[in-house]
Structure 1
Amino acid sequence: MKEIKIESTLYLYDSLDELPSDVAMLMEKAIEARKQAYAPYSEFYVGAALLLDNNKIITGNNQENASYPAGLCAERTAIFYASSQYPNATILKMAITAGSKNNQTTTPVPPCGSCRQAIAEYEIKQHTPIEIYFMGETGKIAKSGSLANLLPLVFDKTML
């Protein structure tokens, strides 16, 4: 037997004021998107914003449905829209913010597993890492240099 150690590295910013100006603006767009989320069942609101290499900013928010599997997370809403409207654009950065109606979310909330897999598909497709910044409603913001950092044992087309 051989042990294999897998590590991830995150960088933490104490507040929006510490972020580079382009990332702070992107996070503000994600916050605006979060406020428009449709989450009547979970009351957990998520917003995402993408910066593309053509300087377009795409936002998305979670859209719930009484038939729970029919809903869609903010990250996938944004990434699928970006791909459908700008199929040749590269996603440079993603900002995510999440908050609950029931309690204040003050710790960074990363993408869920389904979103990680979807983001991985685009990171692999474009052969370029996507910087991912994530936060709660307030508090610290985490930065991952790539999705591969958040999902190191990615399932991709090479396994099919």
Structure 2
Amino acid sequence: MKKEKILTEFEVYDGVEELPEAVQTLMQEAKRARLKAYAPYSNFLVGAAISLENGVIVTGNNQENASYPSGLCAERTAIYAAGANYPGVKIRSIALTAGPRNVKNTLPVPPCGACRQAVAEYEQKQNHPIEIYFMAQEGKVCKVSSLLHLLPLAFDRNFLK
């Protein structure tokens, strides 16, 4: 038996104002998208904004359903909209902001497991990493340079061969 260690790294910014200007804009779009989320059951609002290599920003937010598995997270709403409307255009980065309605939260909220898998698919599809910035409604912002820093043993198409 041999033990192996997986290391990951990420950057932490004290606030949105420390981010590069383009990422500040992307995060503001994610914040606007968050306010339009449909979350009557969990009251947990999530907004995502995706920057494409052609300069277009695509947004998404979580969409809940009384039949819980039928809802969709903000990240997947945005990434699938980007894939449907801009096929072949690479995703450069994703900004994500999340937290409960009417409750202040400052703990950065990373993508859930299903969203991590969706981003992993797009990184592999475009053969290029996607930067991910995530935060609560306010406060610190975390950045990973690739989804593989959040999901180091990602399942991908190579396992299907």
Q: TM-score with structure 1 length normalisation?
A: 0.99
| RMSD across aligned positions (CA) | 0.7
Partner of residue 40, structure 1: 40
| Residue type of the alignment partner of 1:75 | E
**SS of residue in 2 equivalent to 1:99:** strand
Partner of residue 120, structure 2: 120
Aligned residue runs from structure 1 range 45-60, under 5 A: 45-60=45-60
**SS of residue in 2 equivalent to 1:39:** coil
**SS of residue in 1 equivalent to 2:64:** coil
* Unmatched segments (≥5 aa) in structure 2: none
Counterparts of 2:60 and 2:102 in 1: how far apart (Å)?
A: 22
| Residue type of the alignment partner of 2:104 | Q
Partner of residue 157, structure 1: 157
Counterparts of 1:116 and 1:75 in 2: how far apart (Å)?
A: 9
Partner of residue 147, structure 2: 147
Partner of residue 77, structure 1: 77
* Unmatched segments (≥5 aa) in structure 1: none
- TM-superposed deviation, 1:101: 1.7
Q: Deviations over 1:27-52 (max 9, x none)?
A: 00000000000000000000000000
- TM-superposed deviation, 1:103: 2.6
1:90 and 2:98 correspond? no
**SS of residue in 2 equivalent to 1:117:** helix
When the two structures are aligned, how many residues end up with a matched partner? 160
Q: Percent identity?
A: 59
Partner of residue 22, structure 2: 22
> Runs of 4 or more off by more than 6 Å in structure 1?
none
Counterparts of 2:102 and 2:117 in 1: how far apart (Å)?
A: 28
